[in-house]
């Protein structure tokens, strides 16, 4: 009995000793299923955090060059675009004279040769009148020009080539009217910039003209802010931004569909903050209804006037669109008080006579002309330089 108790005691001691050895044996990593998952999560978090905040301290995978990140070629910041220096406004029309001479040769040279004919009978005068009408001078102005020339020929008697040229030159200049004030009002008023609104039908060259005019002013040493208030076409604002960035003129824009008046307001505010000389605002030109157009342009103007006066409302007209363009121009002129006309694409038409007609119809002077797609192909208009260009040199 005593021996059996002793044997049981020895067995229990043996069980305790072996059990203890197994229980205190160190665990191998990965053997249990709770802890490792926590470690993985920790490691992932640590690595992710490092990757975002401090990429240079991230552990490289085996085999990757230890200094790959450190030795990566430095990413150079994009160089600021070099600003362009556009030519000043003075002399631009003379520089572009060849374009005018080329496009208007039928008009100018055609008239000269008709007037130089040996016999100026009724048929010849009819042909002169037709040439004028074909060049979009307008019926009333064409018949007035013919009447005046007939009188001059009668009074003068002889018709040397110089006399013919002189007569025609004088008459055309008179019709274009050199006395009209064609200055574009771009001077600031104390601490307020001059504000110009550019209006017109889409596609006439409105946005291009806004950009080109900005360049003309920068070329004259002015500081300019551009306002992209044509919010119906996002590309128009992008286009304007490109124009501005080339000459260092800031562009104020908002999202597509934003209120054009608020863009215009912000552009003027920016112009005031920066002490800019001139703010040029490109507007949308959808021809929906006259009332809609009036409301929209009227609102832009009213809102701008809370900050500063509007010095110019320039209507952009595509010279190649003839009577149709003129009809649209009339709608704009009725919707808003136009102070000047920008006649674009004169390089692409022989109908330079539209200058005479549009001034008569709208009662405002052509102040600028577009003579090409190049950035500096916009020039202040001058009646004498224009007529000299279309008639050719003396
Ligand atoms: N040949 C020639 N092309 C011109 C002249 N002025 C503008 N253009 C071109 O006319 C096209 C239309 O010009 P835009 O400035 O986009 O016309 P827009 O009136 O602003 O039209 P939206 O931006 O749609 O409102 C462009 O391809 C211009 O390069 C010019 O005097 N001569």
Q: Is 341 helix (H, G, I), strand (E, B) or coil?
A: strand
Closest CA to ligand 1's atom 25? 202
| Cβ-proximal residues to 233 (8 Å cutoff; 6+ apart), any chain | 202, 256, 284
Is 215 labelled a binding residue? Answer: no
Q: How confident is the model at residue 359 (pLDDT cuts 50, 70, 90)?
A: very high
Q: Is 283 helix (H, G, I), strand (E, B) or coil?
A: strand
Percent of the chain with pLDDT over 90: 57
Dump the DSSP string for 219-241: HTT--EEEEEE-TT-HHHHHHHH
* Count of domains forming the chain: 1
Per-residue pLDDT at 6 = 55
Of all atoms in ligand 1, which is nearest to the CA of residue 344? 31
Beta carbon of 347 within 6 Å of any ligand 1 atom: yes
Q: How confident is the model at residue 136 (pLDDT cuts 50, 70, 90)?
A: very high
Of all atoms in ligand 1, which is nearest to the CA of residue 378? 31
Q: Is pLDDT of 312 > 70?
A: yes
Q: How far does residue 345's CA lie from ligand 1's centre (Å)?
A: 8
How far apart, in whole angstroms, are the C-alpha atoms of residue 22 and residue 392?
113
Per-residue pLDDT at 105 = 81
What pTM value is reported for the model? 0.79
Structural domain contains residue 122: no
Q: Are 127 and 114 in contact (CB under 8 A)?
A: yes
Of all atoms in ligand 1, which is nearest to the CA of residue 284? 25
Q: Is 392 helix (H, G, I), strand (E, B) or coil?
A: coil
Structural domain contains residue 349: no
Task: Look up residue 56 and give its DSSP letter.
Answer: G
Dump the DSSP string for 242-273: HHHHHHT--EE---TT--HHHHHHHHHHHHHH
Structural domain contains residue 204: yes
> Within 135-252, where are the H helices?
139-156, 161-176, 206-219, 234-247
Structural domain contains residue 218: yes
Q: What is the pLDDT of residues 331-358, one digit of tens each?
A: 888 888 999 999 999 999 999 999 999 9
Percent of the chain with pLDDT over 70: 78
Structural domain contains residue 102: no
The CATH number of residue 209's host domain is 3.40.50.300
Is 208 labelled a binding residue? Answer: no
Beta carbon of 355 within 6 Å of any ligand 1 atom: no
Per-residue pLDDT at 294 = 78
The sign of the torsion formed by the CA atoms of 204, 210, 216, 220 equals positive
Structural domain contains residue 166: no
Q: Where in the sequence is the domain holding 226, given as residue range(s)?
A: 194-338
Per-residue pLDDT at 23 = 36
Structural domain contains residue 175: no
Per-residue pLDDT at 5 = 59
Q: Is pLDDT of 39 > 90?
A: no
Mean pLDDT throughout 97-119?
88
- In angstroms, what CA-CA distances link 31 with 21, 44, 49? 18, 20, 28
Structural domain contains residue 378: no
Beta carbon of 198 within 6 Å of any ligand 1 atom: no
Per-residue pLDDT at 69 = 43
Beta carbon of 206 within 6 Å of any ligand 1 atom: yes
Q: How confident is the model at residue 382 (pLDDT cuts 50, 70, 90)?
A: very high
């Amino acid at each position: 009995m005593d021996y059996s108790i002793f044997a049981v005691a020895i067995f229990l001691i043996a069980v305790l000793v072996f059990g203890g050895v197994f229980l205190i044996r160190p665990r191998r990593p990965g053997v249990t299923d709770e802890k490792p998952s926590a470690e993985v999560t920790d490691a992932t978090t640590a690595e992710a955090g490092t990757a975002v905040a401090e990429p240079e301290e991230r552990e490289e995978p085996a085999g990757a060059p230890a200094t790959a990140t450190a030795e990566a070629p430095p990413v150079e910041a994009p160089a600021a675009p070099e600003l362009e220096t556009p030519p000043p406004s003075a002399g631009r029309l003379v520089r572009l004279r060849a374009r005018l001479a080329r496009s208007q040769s039928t008009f100018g040279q055609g008239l000269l040769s008709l007037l130089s004919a040996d016999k100026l009978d009724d048929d010849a005068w009819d042909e002169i009148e037709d040439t004028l009408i074909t060049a979009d001078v307008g019926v009333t102005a064409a018949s007035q020009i013919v009447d005046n020339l007939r009188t001059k020929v009668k009074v003068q008697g002889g018709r040397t080539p110089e006399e013919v040229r002189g007569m025609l030159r004088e008459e055309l200049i008179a019709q274009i009217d050199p006395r009209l004030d064609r200055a574009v009002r771009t001077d600031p008023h104390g601490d307020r910039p001059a504000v110009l609104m550019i209006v017109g039908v889409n596609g006439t060259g409105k946005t291009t003209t806004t950009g080109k005019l900005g360049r003309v002013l920068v070329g004259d040493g002015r500081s300019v802010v551009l306002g992209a208030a044509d919010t119906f076409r996002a590309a128009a604002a992008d286009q304007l931004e490109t124009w501005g960035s080339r000459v260092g003129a800031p562009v104020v824009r908002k999202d597509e569909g934003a209120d054009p008046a608020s863009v215009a307001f912000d552009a003027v505010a920016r112009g005031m903050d920066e002490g800019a000389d001139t703010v040029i605002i490109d507007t949308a030109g959808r021809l929906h209804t006259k009332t809609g157009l009036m409301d929209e342009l009227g609102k832009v103007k009213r809102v701008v006037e809370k900050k500063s006066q509007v010095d110019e409302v320039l209507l952009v007209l595509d010279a190649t669109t003839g009577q149709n363009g003129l009809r649209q121009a009339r709608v704009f002129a009725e919707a808003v008080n136009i102070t000047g006309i920008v006649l674009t694409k004169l390089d692409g038409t022989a109908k330079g006579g539209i200058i005479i007609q549009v001034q008569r119809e709208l009662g405002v002077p052509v102040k600028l002309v577009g003579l090409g797609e190049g950035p500096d192909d916009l020039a202040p208009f001058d009646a004498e330089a224009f007529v000299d260009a279309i008639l050719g040199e003396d």
